[in-house]
Amino acid sequence: MSTIHFEFVTQDRLVYDDDVSMVIIPGADGVIGVLPKHAPLMAVVVPGEVTVRKAGQPDQYFVVGGGFVEVRPDKIILAARSAELPEEIDVVRAEEARKRAEAYLSSPLQAQDRDRHVAMEAQLRRSAARLQAARRRHGGKRPQRPAEFSEK
């Protein structure tokens, strides 16, 4: 089976660097699926989940905080603002961020501040992706809150 090299970087670290069968990336104009020998492309990446497929292995998932992707026939370079592995996700923080964003976006005041509205939409996308990746790590089940955060 044919492969393509995938480099996933942030300013802090190299997140992933290997040959893969396919990468699925959340783009500003929709989801981008990249296979080997893909036509050259540059695109804006929005907050969401990146899926990496390798033949004979389970899919790997990462959460990306937005950035840019360059696709060449033999290589994909994803330069991200931030990235998280599912095991790095703080579920409590992600759930709280999701609730804050949903509350703001449902309030009548949200229409008055366009910049804050856009930021809250991005926060909602990012927190939803974080929660989905955490669920995948826990076999599709909702991760449990640590005991110190449990409601009494």
Query: What is the structure's pLDDT at 97?
Result: 78
In this prediction the pTM is 0.71
The letter for the amino acid at 64 is V
Q: What stretch of H or E contains 58?
A: none
Query: What is the structure's pLDDT at 137?
Result: 63
DSSP-based three-state secondary structure for 103: helix
d(CA 130, CA 17): 21
d(CA 119, CA 6): 29
Query: What is the structure's pLDDT at 112?
Result: 64
Q: Which domains are seen in the chain, by residue range? A: 4-84 (2.60.15.10), 87-145 (no CATH)
The mean pLDDT values, 10 residues at a time, for the chain of 152 residues are 94 96 95 96 94 94 94 96 83 78 74 72 77 68 43 40
CB 65 within 8 A of CB 48: no
